[in-house]
Chains A and B, each alone.
Chain A
Amino acid sequence: MVESAAIAVTPEERISVASNWRLVWWRFRRHRLAVVSALILLVLYAIVLFPDFVSTQDPEATDARLAFIPVQRLHLLDGWRLSPWVPSVTGKRNPTTLRMEWRIDESRKIPLGIFVAGHPYRLLGIVPARVHLLGAAAAGDRERVHVLGTDRLGRDQWSRLVYGTRTSMTIGLTAVTFSVILGVVLGGISGYVGGLADVVIQRLIELLQSLPTIPVWLALTAALPRDWSPQQVFLAITVILSLVGWTTLGREVRGRFLALREEDFVLAAELAGASRRRIIVRHMVPTFLSHIIATSTLAIPAMIISETSLSFLGLGIRPPAISWGVLLQEAQNIQTVALAPWLLIPGLVVILSVLAFNLVGDGLRDAADPYSQ
């Protein structure tokens, strides 16, 4: 710590003068799994920002001759030297089934380069660029690299997964943001104003919570016009997901407001002549803000799983847009999965991200609780 070098401060003094956020951070840091998970989420969101840079190929580029190429495992070390490579694949058409059969040839290495030129794109949608994180070192069409294999249309799964990550992770975040806004506003009104508003909002929450979520979501997404653009569908789905999602948070915020309204410090602020708005924003909200953040972190994975399931059933994000659920649609047929098990890899990424969100959420919740040890 920098400040402890300047003046000799005992640990107890440091704790007694630290701000609430600092205390939360100190407690969170002790939760090692949560910190690791937070790093994983950071990496995933970095991918969300720069999917084109991380991808190795155009995710839409199809080539039927390159269908179902197996995973070319990425090796980082060549002998003892740090130089990434993948084994090459050779394909031969089976004369009886007429299917391409791919063989991994470990002896022939395709060297990979970092920051190589590839298909053109616009960085953050603005800056034109060609640089990619990874790619075949020797430029040439013959040596194609598929670190996660290809699907039935010969599209590169790694690149598609990267773009799918962008959609799915963003949906989780936006849907939860909508839920938080709805939940805090409506829950706040319900708890602080009370009276008729409280009764109406509480009944509404009860009504929404007794809806069978998945069937209703399906019906709502099925009702979206077929000719909507992927952006419109994306937005509509986040709204549909948060329509039910806000209720839990709304209840919690209401409970907090009800409890806090009776607290002495709120009475003190009232007597000191603070406006209603100032009391809410300045005195009440900060006391449960950390709690809201923890709860919303725990709500994101549920949104991700819902989106993935809806898209998997064909009623969420629709191709050509790519999401984890859309990718997993390719694995719907068991015969296909038996032929190309790597099509299940996007599912592993779903599990990983949901796990990470849950662990971070748990860590935050424990850290935000001032009475925890």
Chain B
Amino acid sequence: MTRFVLKRLLLLPVLLFLFSVAVFAIVQAPPGDFLTTYVATLASSGSSISAEQIQALRQEYGLDRPVWVQYLKWMQNLLSGNLGLSLEYQRPNAELIGERLVLTVVLALFAFVITWIVAIPAGIYSAMHPRSVFDYVLTVLNYVGVATPNFMLALVLMWVAFAHFGLSVTGLFSPDFVGAPWSTARVVDLLKHVWLPAVVLGVAGTARLTRVMRANLLDELNKPYVTTARAKGLAEWRLVLRYPARLALNPLVSTVGWYLPLLFSGSLIVATVMNLPNIGPLLLRALINQDMYLAGSILLIYCFLTIVGTLISDILLAWLDPRIRIEEEG
């Protein structure tokens, strides 16, 4: 087990290196370097920047040097925790990203927990009562849930809340807490706001998970050992929860690997629509304004989150299923 985890951890820097090269290539792709864009933006807003300042910036980012030097400079800065200066906000990127990163993770984890809490019982009930009214209602909901883009769901919820209750359900904090330092009251306020975007984010996943759980459990329920247990007089719910439900859960754990990363990147859209202060809208704005170092840093953070999500599920799976452990070690 330890060897398995170690092997995976050693792979992490390799993957990150490959991704950092890819990310750098992508953000470098648009024509012109970002300083030209920056100078043009400044000029259009009426302010100006002296030739010396431009020269200083050019040197700091190595813009007058070959591409690989620029990459190395960026990496060097990144590794020393210096994420560069956002050109648009004129603030250190690390400062901009810090809290937003925490909120991104919090939102995704909430969505994840909601998904599992809803999907597993719903799937079990559906499989225990196939072709019941509840099962049919759930099937319809599942199909619609998978088919609805989550920005659409967010829009409809916001519209209903606004038009019928006069509420604005955007943001993750009440106005009083937006810029406040962290405190218990602020956490409570966050908890009050986070569940709605989390539900929106988790709907498609919940629908999919319910369907998979139902199908897995139905397969298990047809097996002879279930009949045996039933013949021995075990209470139905106890029987189901104790044996087949656990077996049906196993393949689901392997989906965590792609589901958690999906939540991280999916939160970008929900966050943009619902105006949530996480790294999604920041990336979008950075991309639109060609603030390349900020965009690159955020992209790399997304890559990191994705890899960590996959890693967690690999470890979970190896821990739950000895077959994988043995195969990997052997």
A residues neighboring B (CB under 8 Å): 207, 209-216, 218-220, 222-223, 225, 301, 305, 308-309, 312-315, 328, 331-332, 334-335, 337-338, 341, 344, 347, 350-352, 354-355, 358-359
Contacts and interface: CB of A to CB of B under 8 A. Distances in A.
Interface centre among A218, A312, A350, A352 (most CB of B within 10 A): A218
B185 interface: no
Contact of A209 (B156, B258, B283, B305): B258
Contacts of A334: 155, 158-159, 162, 168
Nearest to A354: B147
B159 A341 contact: yes
Contact of A328 (B29, B152, B265): B152
B231 interface: no
B216 interface: no
Nearest to B267: A214
A309 B265 CA distance: 12
A242 to B, nearest CB: 17
Contacts of A211: 19, 22, 303, 306
Given A218-B287, A225-B30, A344-B159, A212 B18 contact: no
B305 A218 contact: no
Nearest to A353: B147
Interface stretch (B47-55, B112-120, B243-251, B294-302): B294-302
A351 B155 contact: no
A223 B29 contact: yes
Contacts of B22: 211
B21 to A, nearest CB: 11
B146 interface: yes
Interface string B264-275: 111011001100
A337 B268 contact: no
Contact of B306 (A210, A315, A355): A210
B143 A214 contact: no
Given A215-B268, A313-B272, A350 B149 contact: yes
B75 interface: no
Interface centre among B152, B258, B261, B266 (most CB of A within 10 A): B152
Nearest to B156: A344
B149 A308 contact: yes
Given A214-B265, A337-B155, A354-B147, 16 more contacts: A209-B258, A210-B261, A210-B307, A211-B22, A212-B306, A213-B262, A218-B268, A219-B27, A222-B287, A223-B26, A223-B30, A305-B149, A313-B269, A351-B149, A355-B144, A358-B146
B111 to A, nearest CB: 15
Given A209-B258, A215-B265, A347 B287 contact: no
Contacts of A315: 284, 287-288
Given A210-B15, A223-B30, A315-B287, A309 B149 contact: yes
Interface residues of B, number: 49
A213 B305 CA distance: 12
B283 A218 contact: yes
B132 interface: no
A210 B158 CA distance: 32
B12 to A, nearest CB: 11
B163 interface: yes
A357 to B, nearest CB: 9
Contacts of A328: 151-152, 155
Contacts of B126: none
B76 interface: no
Contacts of B15: 207, 210
Contacts of B163: 337-338, 341
B264 A212 contact: yes
Contacts of B298: 215
Interface string B282-322: 01100110100001001100110111001000000000000
Contacts of A222: 30, 287-288, 290, 295
B219 to A, nearest CB: 13
Given A216-B299, A225-B30, A337-B159, A314 B151 contact: no
27 contacts: A209-B258, A210-B307, A211-B19, A212-B261, A212-B305, A212-B306, A214-B265, A214-B268, A215-B268, A215-B283, A215-B298, A218-B287, A219-B23, A219-B27, A219-B287, A223-B27, A223-B29, A312-B149, A315-B287, A332-B155, A337-B155, A341-B163, A344-B152, A350-B147, A350-B152, A351-B149, A354-B148
